[in-house]
Structure 1
Amino acid sequence: MTGSKRSSAEIDPRRKRILFRCWHRGIREMDLVLGAFADAEIASLTDAQLDELELIMSEEDADLIKWVTGEKPVPEQFRTGLFPRIAAYTPDFGPTILNREERLA
């Protein structure tokens, strides 16, 4: 898996699928955020937390990255539970995103 430092050999098929999807988002920054979280936590998440992670993953990458970087407020439904834990795995790439967005404008 691109970027993953975790072997998926010892985890069940659902967790393998989620781990793969976390590292193949479409926006590299979200690969790094969700992938880093999944590498560290996927084996210990409960079924309910996996459901929540899949719900978070169903959101658009453009929205997720804005919530993680603080550019937009996190919707109420994601302010508790798993999302704050995911956001805690965020590398400091805020200036890179801002510079890229300024160049695209």
Structure 2
Amino acid sequence: MDREIRLKRLHFRAHHRGVKEADLLIGGFFDAHGRSWDEAEMQVFEDLLEEQDVDIMAWAIGIEACPARYEGSIMAALKLLNYVKVPE
């Protein structure tokens, strides 16, 4: 699949989670980092999007242990939480 099409699909999926808080967390993370990812990182993010929002949010804020398959650069950046922009 073309990289631009794949990024557009990831953008949509990251911003349309069904819960506003998850849209802000996951969508904001994608906006801040998505364009810089290589193929392997995009695959990790695609796999992560298959998980439940509550699990992703728990891993990001550190109240649940993250599964080993997601540990790495993506999860480390997600845990920083410096990319969330709350609309006024």
Q: Give yes or no for TM over 0.5.
A: yes
Alignment partner for residue 41 of structure 1, among 27, 33, 46?
A: 33
Query: Deviation at 1:91?
Result: 6.7
Match of 1:76 in 2: 68
Structure 2 residues not aligned, in runs of 5+:
none
CA distance in 1 between partners of 2:69 and 2:25 (Å): 19
Identity across the alignment (%): 29
Match of 1:62 in 2: 54
Larger radius of gyration: 1
Alignment partner for residue 23 of structure 1, among 15, 26, 44?
A: 15
Query: Deviation at 1:51?
Result: 0.6
Residues 10 and 46, structure 2, Cα contact 8 Å, conserved in 1: yes
Q: Which amino acid aligns with 2:73?
A: G
TM-score for both structures, normalised by structure 1: 0.67
RMSD (CA atoms): 2.0
Structure 1 residues not aligned, in runs of 5+:
1-10, 93-105
CA distance in 2 between partners of 1:90 and 1:30 (Å): 15
Query: Deviation at 1:90?
Result: 5.4
